[in-house]
Amino acid sequence: VSISNFFYHGEYTMVNITFPDGNIKAFENALSGIDAAKSISDGFARNCVAMELDDSLVDLSSVIDHDAKIRFITTKDPGSLDILRHSAAHVMAQAILRLNKNAKLTIGPAVENQFYYDIDMDPISEDDFPKIEAEMKKIIKEKLPIRRRVVPKAEAMDFYKDEPYKLEMISDLEDETISFYEQGEFTDLCRGPHVPHTGFVKNVKLIKVSGAYWRADPSKPQLQRIYGSAFFDKKELNEYLTFLKEAKKRNHRKIGQALDLFSFHEEALGMPFFHPKGMDLWNALLDYWLHENREAGYVETKTPIMLNRSLWERSGHWENYRENMYTSAIDDIEYAIKPMNCPGGMLLYSRKPHSYRDLPLRVAEVGLVHRHELSGVLSGLFRVRAFHQDDAHLYMTSAHIKDEILGVLKLSERIYNAFGLGFLLELSTRPEKSIGTDQQWETATRGLAAALDAYGQDYQLNEGDGAFYGPKIDLHIRDALNRTWQCGTIQLDMSLPERFNLHYIDKDNERHRPIMIHRTVFGSIERFLGILIEHFAGKFPLWLSPLQAIILPINDDLVPYANEVLATLKQADLRAEVDSRTESLNKKVREAQLQYIPIILTIGGREKEASTLSVRTLDGNVKYVVSLETFLNTVQRHIRDRSLSLEF
């Protein structure tokens, strides 16, 4: 087949299409993407959603009028779900406009596993979903073709003259032409692409509704943000809905309230209050963190929560991060509450001379930081304004990079394993805007890659997404529901050592700039606790549980003996209590189970007489006639080993 650009045969123009396998097929005239798909087979075409035309993602209705490379996006292609969900957002918006002609549309993107549309309308609730979904089903059943139309910007503005949000968006665009998508009577401002017709959106479900400010600005109107999800396969939709139900049951805010761990108050929005049981959980987590860090050769420091403006100007935060910082004036000098720990760490390093013999130097700090977040994005422990970072700064020479990165990876693995958390790795390289020389970036990136290769776990390369001051490795943990959370990070920094003029004396007796690594494992301790609450669904392993054991005497006469047992448990550093209320034993057992207390100890007359215990674990297993010595040996072994399961 000839691959010259055009052959003329009377009124026809020959078009040559190159498919992904390298095959070239000639067509006697321009044709649409759907026609090209049908040239393979009608069955194949029915499963096509969109296509890549010369590496641009476009609708199947797009005309191919020149020699081109194409790749079809089918329903099996992972990228097809975003296209489907974007189209589902349009179907939902069309249904709402049919039900409420006064509603004003803004934007409706696809997001992870879902879609949403922000609409200016009277508040609705999930009780309104069946009516909206019924109208959506009508639109889906109509199989309305979804067509793209491109018009001059002036014509688009005239079309949307009565739609303030669309008009504002068009005004902000620099494009000379604007694309619309039409399905039946519905038209929406959109770049696309979309599925060929509304019939593709047959497996769809609305999920939740919340408030959202237009363009995330509290001074602008509050909109109704309606979320939904869509899949090509009904089974996958049902599996996702089941996942959402399980995630809802594990909601850390709900469990945190039920277990009396933490709370939020209007007097300090976005700043959590931890209760006594929450602090038991917090301290168990931090004790483990401290143990692992000390074993890995870290020293611990603490820096002030407020530092003056000159420091933040020196670090670059005043110029680049000022809008997220809280400030105050002391003695007419402007101060800022720290949004991160790094600048204070730089001052500690620079307080005295360092030799190459001091390196590598591993310095850890659990620092309380504050960052201004809009109230609309605050989300339990996951998004707060005040949180603690388990920070560490490692100072080294270039020869240390590989081993130190490898050490951080192994430390992170040990810590995550203690919670049964797997993790994924991602290496992000130099972005377009960056500081440092090509040689510095090459050395740093090569060091990170070498450490990852030596570590031996697969990682994803994320080109151009590093920090402006250096490449980084991100660790994405995977929880019990198979969700991923970016927690740990390892960042090479070529900016702060320069800004703070850090140095060490090398073997040549000359001053050299150290290489610095920022490192976190938990990231935000508050957020990590929220993840753990949902990961364990509140049923923490024994070593982490806020209350590890509860003692239930079956009558008042046995309360003194129960208190003797309690004293023995506390002497062994167990977190335990006696429930001496005048309630039935069954009720107290049930309430202890609802509080997810790992061990329930029942004491009756026989137990007192024989100095034994009846031990009930959270999984419902009961072991009778357990000596106190055996009990203590067993639980202390589980706590020492940080076991995830409990067996007697």
593 is catalytic: no
Reading across the β-sheet that carries 361-370, which strands appear in turn? 299-300, 361-370, 386-396, 515-524, 484-493, 472-478, 422-428, 459-462
Catalytic residue chosen out of the listed positions 250, 362, 402, 518: 518
| Tokens at 353, concatenated | 């001379």
The 3-state secondary structure of 161-187 reads: CCCHHHHHHHHHCCCCEEEEEEECCEE
The answer to whether residue 440 is catalytic is: no
Q: Provide the residue type at 464 as one letter.
A: G
Q: Which residue has the tokens 């498919």?
A: 19
Quote the CA–CA distance of 521 and 392 in Å, as a whole number: 9
Give the torsion through C-alpha atoms of 188, 189, 192, 195, to 10 deg. 0
Active-site residue, from 317, 393, 527, 616: 393
- Rounded to whole angstroms, the Cα distance separating 625 from 622 reads 10
Catalytic residue among 114, 183, 224, 389: 389
CA pair distance 502, 163, nearest whole angstrom: 56
Catalytic pick from 166, 430, 472, 527? 472
Identify whether 391 is a catalytic site residue.
yes
Neighbours of 122 (CB within 10 A): 9
Q: Which H helix or E strand runs over 49?
A: strand 48-53
The single residue of 317, 362, 371, 388 carrying the catalytic annotation is 371
Closest CA to 523 of 334, 428, 387: 387
Residue 406 token pair = 């490898």
Among 588, 606, 583, which Cα is nearest to 550's?
588
How far apart CA 442 and CA 433 sit, in angstroms, is 16
- DSSP codes joined into one string, 497-514: HHHTT--EE-TTS-EEPP
Active site residue 393: yes
Q: Which of these, 565, 280, 517, lies nearest to 396 by C-alpha position?
A: 517
- Taking the CA of residue 484 as centre, how many other CA atoms within 13 Å lie in the half-sphere pointing to its CB? 11
Closest by Cα among 5, 10, 149 to 66: 5
The answer to whether the CB of 153 falls within 8 A of the CB of 173 is yes
> Phi first, then psi: what are they for 132, rounded to 5°?
-65, -45
- Radius of gyration of the chain, Cα coordinates, nearest whole angstrom: 31
Q: Which of 342, 400, 430, 440 is catalytic?
A: 342
Catalytic residue among 59, 390, 391, 493: 391
Tokens of 362: 């591993």
Coil/strand/helix, residue 488: strand
Task: Please name which of 166, 3, 35 lies closest in space to residue 97, comparing C-alpha atoms.
Answer: 166
Q: How far is CA 44 from the centre of its chain?
A: 36
Q: Work out whether the CA dihedral 152, 142, 240, 227 comes out positive or negative.
A: positive
149 in catalytic set: no
Q: Do 179 and 59 meet the contact criterion of CB atoms below 8 Å apart?
A: no
- Per-position DSSP letters for 333-398, written without gaps between them: EEEEE-SSSHHHHHHHHTTS--BGGG-SEEEEEEEEEE----GGG-BTTTB-SEEEEEEEEEEE-G
Residues forming the active site:
342, 371, 389, 391, 393, 472, 518
